[in-house]
Amino acid sequence: MITNTVRLGVDKFIKEKEQNNNLPTQALVSLDIRNMFNEISCQKLREIIETKHPELQSFVDLLYK
């Protein structure tokens, strides 16, 4: 329900801008946090994070919990 509400709000924002011949000035990035890590093993993801983005380790751990 929350996802659909946000998407409808974004659509409304874009359509209002288009009706006034303007481009939208903002963007929405939507992540499917529940399923976003299904394509990679937890261990492999932790290796990548540890090597390339160690500052994100605690955030990734929080998402996995």
Residue-wise pLDDT tens digits, 24-57: 777 777 767 677 667 778 788 888 888 999 998 8
Tokens 């409808």 belong to: 8
> What are the tens digits of pLDDT across the range 1-29?
777 787 777 787 778 878 888 877 777 77
- Give pTM, 2 decimals: 0.39
What pLDDT score was predicted for residue 63? 76
- Check whether residue 5 and residue 24 sit in a common domain: yes
What pLDDT score was predicted for residue 37? 65
- Check whether residue 17 and residue 39 sit in a common domain: no
- Check whether residue 25 and residue 40 sit in a common domain: no
What pLDDT score was predicted for residue 36? 67
Domain that holds residue 25: 1-30
Alpha-helical (H) ranges within the chain are: 2-19, 42-52, 57-64
Q: Quote the number of domains for the chain.
A: 2
